[in-house]
Structure 1
Amino acid sequence: MKWDGKNKSVIMKMRLKILWFMVTLLPMLVCGQIELPPIFSSHMVLPRNKQIPIEGKAEPRTTLTITIGSQSHTTKADKNGIWKVNLRPMAAGGPFVLQIEDDQGKELTLDNLLVGDLWLCAGQSNMQYTLNMLQYKETPNDNYDLPNLRLCSVWVDRDYLPRKNVSNAVWQEVSKEAARNFSAVGYFFGKDLVGEQEVPIGLISSNLGATAIETWMGMDVLKTFPQFDEVTQKIGKINKSFKTLDTELAKFRKKWDEKYYLKGPGIEEKWYEEGYDYSNWEECTLPAFWDDFGYASHDGSMWFKRTFDLDSIQLKNDVSIVLNQIDDYDRVWVNGVQIGESFGKSNFRNYSAPKEILREEGNILTVRVFDVGGKGGIYTNAFWGNSILNGTWQYKKGVSIDHNGFPQPEVANGSPFSHPMLLYNASIAPLHKLPITGVIWYQGESNESRAVEYGSLLQAMIQDWRKQWNNPQMPFLVVQLANYRQEDTQPKNSQWAELRESQMKATTLDNVDIVTAIDIGDANDIHPYNKKEVGRRLALLAKHYTYGKTLGKGPVYKKSIPSDSSITIEFETYGSLLKSTDKHGYVRGFAIAGADGKFYWAKAKVLNDTQVEVYHEEIKKPMYVRYAWSDNPGPLDLVNGNGLPAFPFRTDDFELSTAKNTYHYNPHAF
């Protein structure tokens, strides 16, 4: 097998790039014994007109003086070295210097600070995608000279309990490099905002591709939904952070490894060493559970081996060994050298083989998998190709155990993509003490199969985030899913359309609004290119809800007026008139149905500034209309005078295809 370095997932690329970014550009902000949370650093934007709480660390019982602008504060660290101060509200402006000095002469300085508005850029991959990932091509209008815009990338992490601080964060001034490695939607949103007003804008990017909404929701709000009881009750019973569990695991292993875990065939004979003859081992195809190849009753260890080759370029660097999820524990060797081990069936394995132990041909990868009940294996059938994992392996059974009598440590465990609350606890909750102006949210693709449920989850999450930020009117701006997949030849059910409807329902909450991307998607790519227009449309909403501008939004369904031969649809146009962009005046995307509820493609025409007539020659008593109700409705013509497209809708109340689908815990979920 040839290891193809190009054949990595987009998600893994994103995670590795961000990890490099964090490690090389900004270690923990520490100067001697004075520390600040990672979200506070030079170049950041502090919130305007808000009291700003800061909690840091210093030598125990030292006195500290904190100054910024005309403010000066004195505080004392407690016996644990914790100190707190509240900066008084400041008007927009800058730059400022934040100076911290203790009575021992130690100092910490944050310079080039601005005071303005903070916007959180959250969601999954369409929010996470950067200009570089999109292979964005600059235009003559791309100006990176934006001194009033600052970019902050948060290192996304997981935890069972809410953390006080994010793992790491990087604040940067805008440059071509910084902009191209930041959320594209966020960057274009912020660029548009600073282009029209003097208030500095800080963007905080905290998002991760392929994640479901429940990963971004907290324990308190999830407890209000019974479908999450299994998860909330388990985590409530554990009631420990990942850090605590890791510490306890290390202590537990001091006796457990030798007595129970690291023993039996394979360990004692050293099957992992170079030169071990495994030519008589059986063959299997991974990823898979070993139930799939005849070992359903086996608990204990199973050993897997395969070889891989590298080219001269790959040999210049360490090589990632991406094994995804393994049930339950694993230990991994390359060419006889252990490169890693993990515990927890839902956690993702991404090891690094040092270049010093690698060779061009015949590298031997050995994995010991240990299962303590249920299914065991290297099992994730990822949506991306991974040539180091997928394919033919050789395997041999190791030690057998009785899982009922085998002591099992409690371990930190959970997929970042699907396990409820983990991302919220480590990547959103730590930000609640920093006042923000609002949120832009682009997520929903991963909840497609539970589209109706999503309507309740999204609204509950918005209300909970507002509660946690102590800002009940905080603007929350949503991106509706773009057109995707091939056009339908006939009207039919669409989970994608149902998800869009659930997103639209969130706008019943005050200061929650939505932009549609129904016209700028890509049939063949779930990550459409035109993030610039998405950012511009979000900025139109932000300018209204925060900066006093007229609301700029596409037409929204208001009511239907049936007649014997047609149905007139009236839209809320927000002062901008309806029109068709088609040169012949056609209005595509409508479907119509009679009493039987069977939909047919309809004809439609703009009647006046706010109304469209919809009809079909063969339906004499039409009753229901749907518009753009499909994964990809194809070219659409109905817009307002500013070119913003009409939003999808339906006038019927038929039960939707996802109405009965709700979350259920799956220990082997991606």
Structure 2
Amino acid sequence: MAAIFGDHAVLQRGQPIAIWGKAPAGSVVTVQLNGESVLATADGGGKWRARLPAMAAGGPYALSVGANGGTSTVNDIMIGDVFLCGGQSNMELPMAQATNAAMDVAFSASPLIRFVNIPRDSSAVRLDDFKTVPQWQVAGAQTTGQASAVCYHMARALQRRYEVPVGFVNASWGGSTIQSWISGASMRKMAGYAQALDVVDQYAADAAAGMRAEEVRQQAWWETADPQARAQRAWAGKAFDDSAWPVMQPAGRWNESGIGALSTHRGVAWFRTTVELTAQQAAAVTHLLLGQVATADTTWVNGVRVGANTNWWTGREYAVPRGVLTPGRNVVAVRVLGDDQGGGLVSPAGQRALRTADGARIALPLRWKYQVGSQLSATQPPTPWEAPTSLGTLYNGMIAPLQGYAFKLAAWYQGEANAGAAREYRTLLPLLFDDWRQTFAQPDLPFLVAQLTSFGAVSTTPGRSAWAELRQAQSAAVRNDPHAGLAVTFDFGDRSDIHPSQKAIVGQRLARAARAVAYGEKITPGGPEAVSASRSGEDVVIRFANTNGGLRTYSSDTAIGFEVCEQDACRYARATAEGDTVRLPGAATVRASKVRYGWSDAPFINLFSMDDLPASGFELDLN
């Protein structure tokens, strides 16, 4: 059987149940579950797939597969509702780190709630099965702490309401972009990705060829972005004479180094060091470790490009091809592209080393040569097979192997890594919906989206907000999909922590959306949503849907966070809630063109429905 079928698994009720795996070519395979038995035949490659009839909720059962006189059995199988939960770190955050974890985990035991965390795997090749076998677990004091907190709270709320077994599959990766979770075939529908996707395919077929193709792609970008890139490329070489370069001991961002030339530098800086190796050491080294680099780097060993990364929080670990290192002197060169806070090799020096096949480490020198490069405000393209900012590789390794498993719904909590690209996200999120629905052959698979929370700088004047724009993109994708629901979360965010620990509220709001979208209850899926803004004399009147009995404001008789704009010039506006509308007195000036609400990375808001759900932030044209 495929790796996803294990002890304690939950299979989706009310839908035909697909079971698949591998057996000797031509084998007749017998699959048995809950009194039902079906046959399948392994194809020439040994793959087989069987289809059991739909079943009602129940269990526990044994699932057995027999072929060629042998039988494999997994036990304690339940039939119920199965949820697929995906995204980045706020979906990944475990119950052990969530608010009230001690109590929630200690009293979580329930044979009717199960979960499985899909092991992290970024693959350039679409996988038929998981490389590492996922382990289904039953909720309890010793296990629940490992479960996705958001997904657990959603599942617990739905299990209590519908009183059937539930299981959730958590496939998430902190810091991941949405492009990582969409298949390469679907990503090719997007303009601008063909070349990078071609490189991923080359890398999948031949890693060395893929590396060379990526070096060409990256160098073309650099020569467009930086006029000095072509000449400075020589600085990566082993033979380059860096004797005139100054020396420093990297230990943080360069704007904190006290070096005048670097203190206000925004752009490129180069770092070089040498390491002496014996013949035995040179043959044994497999990886170069640099720790964290802010923000993006490209790294060479003896003039051979070994890797690049664009995520400052990711420790650099680059494979060094055999034969690149030699006995005697070896050179490591790193080109760093910083940001507004500077850049550099930011980890402690002890994290920079060469690692051998047996795990031994050869420390790199404490002091490095450096040279200030071009002033440059640009974003280096990510290496397209490197998670978490890859193209399709998390889909390949963590979603594709689930093809055939049936789900009641999918829950998605992601977007932080795509903030700043909201316009593209308006296309990418619906593309993800379509891609997963096609993968699982469930064209109406309900999708629940946890909207970005509140994080970052507060606003004292109206202005642009990358997070507000991303929230608007999420709202638009859900609004335009009849099988999607939205959970607004920014009233329970933490402006100083991108990972707010209050996950119970998020899970409960996703569960409410599920009741409407996936279970068909005649309730609103969420809270107030602005649907129109129009002039009424000298005032602007904004009409809301889903107010669930009317709008109300907390801690004031006015609603805060509203803005009226004349094109891109916005100002705060006084606002009062009246039934299902909000009125902005005197805001309907001749040049007023749009209105906004909660338009900030970390907005302060106080407009809620009568049943305590926050109004979603928005930007609306004024009619």
Q: TM-score range by the shorter chain?
A: 0.7 to 0.9
Provide the TM-score with structure 2 as the length reference.
Answer: 0.75
Q: For 1:368 and 1:58, how far apart are their aligned partners in 2?
A: 49
Spell out the pairing of 1:300-319 with structure 2 (5 A cutoff). Answer: 303-304=274-275
**Structure 2 SS opposite 1:148:** strand
Could you tell me which of 554, 560, 563 is aligned with 1:588? 560
Spell out the pairing of 1:540-555 with structure 2 (5 A cutoff). Answer: 540-549=512-521, 550-555=523-528
Q: For 1:231 and 1:599, how far apart are their aligned partners in 2?
A: 39
Q: For 1:94 and 1:138, how far apart are their aligned partners in 2?
A: 30
1:231 aligns to what?
196
Structure 1 residue 521 corresponds to structure 2 residue 493: yes
How big is each residue's C-alpha offset from its partner over 1:48-69, in whole Å with a ceiling of 9 and x where there is no partner? Answer: 2222332223455554432111
Q: For 2:142 and 2:206, how far apart are their aligned partners in 1?
A: 36
Give the C-alpha shift of residue 503 in structure 1. 0.7
Structure 1 residue 512 corresponds to structure 2 residue 484: yes
Q: For 1:125 and 1:462, how far apart are their aligned partners in 2?
A: 20
Q: For 2:570 and 2:162, how far apart are their aligned partners in 1?
A: 48
CA distance 1:140–1:189, shift in 2 (3 Å)? closer
Give the C-alpha shift of residue 231 in structure 1. 0.8
Q: For 2:562 and 2:271, how far apart are their aligned partners in 1?
A: 53
CA distance 1:80–1:456, shift in 2 (3 Å)? closer
Supply the AA of the counterpart residue of 1:109.
T
Could you tell me which of 152, 158, 175 is aligned with 1:187? 152
1:568 aligns to what?
541
**Structure 2 SS opposite 1:226:** coil
Structure 1 residue 208 corresponds to structure 2 residue 208: no
1:323 aligns to what?
291
Spell out the pairing of 1:68-467 with structure 2 (5 A cutoff). Answer: 68-77=33-42, 81-104=46-69, 106-134=70-98, 136-139=100-103, 143-168=107-132, 169-237=134-202, 240=205, 284-285=249-250, 292-293=269-270, 303-304=274-275, 323=291, 327=298, 344-346=307-309, 349=316, 388-389=350-351, 393-394=366-367, 414-467=385-438
Give the C-alpha shift of residue 648 in structure 1. 0.5
1:6 aligns to what?
none
Give the C-alpha shift of residue 212 in structure 1. 1.1
Give the C-alpha shift of residue 476 in structure 1. 0.7
**Structure 2 SS opposite 1:209:** coil
Give the C-alpha shift of residue 132 in structure 1. 2.2
Give the C-alpha shift of residue 596 in structure 1. 6.1
2:223 aligns to what?
none
**Structure 1 SS opposite 2:161:** coil
Q: For 1:287 and 1:637, how far apart are their aligned partners in 2?
A: 40
- Contact 1:369–1:377 (Cα < 8 Å) also in 2: no
1:43 aligns to what?
8
How big is each residue's C-alpha offset from its partner over 1:19-51, in whole Å with a ceiling of 9 and x where there is no partner? Answer: xxxxxxxxxxxxxxxxx2221101001122222
Structure 1 residue 648 corresponds to structure 2 residue 620: no
CA distance 1:382–1:98, shift in 2 (3 Å)? farther
Q: For 1:472 and 1:54, how far apart are their aligned partners in 2?
A: 20
- Contact 1:305–1:393 (Cα < 8 Å) also in 2: no
Which stretch shifts more, 75-84 or 89-98?
A: 75-84
Q: For 1:452 and 1:566, how far apart are their aligned partners in 2?
A: 30
Give the C-alpha shift of residue 123 in structure 1. 0.6
Give the C-alpha shift of residue 616 in structure 1. 5.2
Over the matched positions of the two proteins, sequence identity in percent amounts to 26
- Contact 2:551–2:578 (Cα < 8 Å) also in 1: no
**Structure 1 SS opposite 2:136:** strand
Q: For 2:146 and 2:569, how far apart are their aligned partners in 1?
A: 48
Give the C-alpha shift of residue 640 in structure 1. 0.9
CA distance 1:154–1:294, shift in 2 (3 Å)? closer
How big is each residue's C-alpha offset from its partner over 1:561-602, in whole Å with a ceiling of 9 and x where there is no partner? Answer: 2134321111002543211222x4221111123x46532222
- Contact 2:291–2:345 (Cα < 8 Å) also in 1: no
Give the C-alpha shift of residue 150 in structure 1. 0.8
Supply the AA of the counterpart residue of 1:633.
P
Q: For 1:37 and 1:123, how far apart are their aligned partners in 2?
A: 24
Supply the AA of the counterpart residue of 2:454.
N
Give the C-alpha shift of residue 146 in structure 1. 2.2
**Structure 2 SS opposite 1:493:** coil
Could you tell me which of 486, 492, 499 is aligned with 2:457? 486
Q: For 1:178 and 1:244, how far apart are their aligned partners in 2?
A: 43
Supply the AA of the counterpart residue of 1:533.
I
CA distance 1:628–1:415, shift in 2 (3 Å)? same
Supply the AA of the counterpart residue of 1:641.
M
How big is each residue's C-alpha offset from its partner over 1:620-661, in whole Å with a ceiling of 9 and x where there is no partner? Answer: 875532111111121x2211121000011122389xxxxxxx
Q: For 2:23 and 2:104, how far apart are their aligned partners in 1?
A: 49
Give the C-alpha shift of residue 137 in structure 1. 3.7
Give the C-alpha shift of residue 216 in structure 1. 1.0
Supply the AA of the counterpart residue of 1:487.
V
Q: For 1:141 and 1:348, how far apart are their aligned partners in 2?
A: 31
CA distance 1:294–1:509, shift in 2 (3 Å)? closer
- Contact 2:117–2:135 (Cα < 8 Å) also in 1: yes
Which structure 1 residue ranges, 5 or more long, are not aligned? 1-35, 247-263, 267-280, 296-301, 307-319, 332-341, 352-365, 398-411, 655-670
Give the C-alpha shift of residue 74 in structure 1. 3.7
Supply the AA of the counterpart residue of 1:534.
V
2:258 aligns to what?
none
Supply the AA of the counterpart residue of 1:422.
T
Give the C-alpha shift of residue 525 in structure 1. 0.5
CA distance 1:177–1:575, shift in 2 (3 Å)? same
CA distance 1:560–1:466, shift in 2 (3 Å)? same
Provide the TM-score with structure 1 as the length reference.
Answer: 0.70
- Contact 1:565–1:621 (Cα < 8 Å) also in 2: no
- Contact 2:527–2:616 (Cα < 8 Å) also in 1: yes
- Contact 1:323–1:378 (Cα < 8 Å) also in 2: no
**Structure 1 SS opposite 2:389:** coil
Structure 1 residue 606 corresponds to structure 2 residue 571: no
Which structure 2 residue ranges, 5 or more long, are not aligned? 212-236, 240-245, 255-267, 278-287, 319-327, 353-363, 371-382
**Structure 2 SS opposite 1:120:** strand
Give the C-alpha shift of residue 607 in structure 1. 1.7
